[in-house]
Amino acid sequence: MTYELSPATVRQRTAAALDAHHSTARFVALAVGSASAMADVARDLERQVFDQAFGNDTAAMTAEYRRYEDDSLFFIVLDRRTGMPAGAARVVDGGGKTLDDAPGLIGVPLATVVARHDLAHGRIWDFATLAVLPAYRGGTAGPAVSSLLYRTFLNAGRLAGVRHVVAMLDARAHRNLKLLGVRFSPLAGSAPFAYLGSPSTEALHVPFDEILPSLARQAARLGRRGAEHDGEIRGNILRRLVIRHVAARIATGDGLDEHITLPGLDRRELIRRR
């Protein structure tokens, strides 16, 4: 397990993953377990993004996530054009880092958090990290990469029988998810706090089964002129249309599911399981 790979190693492992993937599209996604060779590709990308954004270098990432590695599942988007990864995300089964760290940060006992959100019943995933390289945060590539990451997470979660999602998200990541229609609630009504280099992080919860319907509702609202919607759209009508399109695709899987494989769960493709 490592958070630092040479570019040559990343390219070699990515090439093998692309060769094995059934889709020939530019962007493809897969879910892999912690021991997979591609898991280190995801860790390397995490480290790059988190070091640039928050100053979390290899030592920091290793220290923060060491105890959660065995329970981690990684989602990776690969770019056939560059032969390299474009983005990655990680979930930790069982609530992981959020449920370990949040109670002390928000001043609420874990037992109270569990009772408030009924976390004692059903599988919990901690949406632990989301990392997209700067080159894929705008233009036409940005929505494609983020859409595949979110849809892979949702497909994997349904297959795994997830009931609850918890997360500690910085303000920007939470704002982006809210715009798509994901309606998190603060853990035990807590306020934002500074965490791992981010000046404003929130501890959050959402029932897994509410995510897809809320995405679909947000897409529908954005399609109606003057209709109220979640979040604040900073930009013109074009940005509104882009967000609507992304939310709708993630909700339905249209143009996404055929480019996703889940070898980290059961080694078979999940195509349009709705």
d(CA 147, CA 58): 27
Least confident range of 68-72, 125-129, 144-148, 225-229: 225-229
Q: What residue segments make up the domains of the chain, in order of their start?
A: 7-261
177-186: pLDDT as tens digits: 998 999 999 9
Residues 6 or more apart from 263 whose CB is under 8 A from it? 30, 31, 32, 36
d(CA 117, CA 136): 35
Chain centroid to CA 110: 24
Residue 236 above 70 pLDDT?
no
Percent over 70 (pLDDT), the chain: 90
140-178: pLDDT as tens digits: 898 999 999 999 999 999 999 999 999 999 998 998 899
Residues 6 or more apart from 46 whose CB is under 8 A from it? 3, 61, 88, 90, 129, 131
The secondary structure of the chain, three-state, reads: CCCCCCHHHHHHHHHHHHHHCCCCCCEEEEEEECCCHHHHHHHHHHHHHHHHHHCCCHHHHHHHHHHHHHHEEEEEEEECCCCEEEEEEEEEECCHHHHHHHHHHHCCCHHHHHHHCCCCCCEEEEEEEEEECHHHCCCCHHHHHHHHHHHHHHHHHHHHCEEEEEEEEEHHHHHHHHHHCCCCEEHHHCCCEEECCEEEEEEEEEEHHHHHHHHHHHHHHHCCCCCCCCCCCCCCHHHHHHHHHHHHHHHHCCCCHHHEECCCCCCCCCCCCC
In the CATH hierarchy, which fold is given to the domain comprising 7-261? Aminopeptidase (3.40.630)
270 pLDDT band, cuts 50/70/90, is: very low
Expressed in angstroms, the distance from the first to the final Cα of the chain is 35
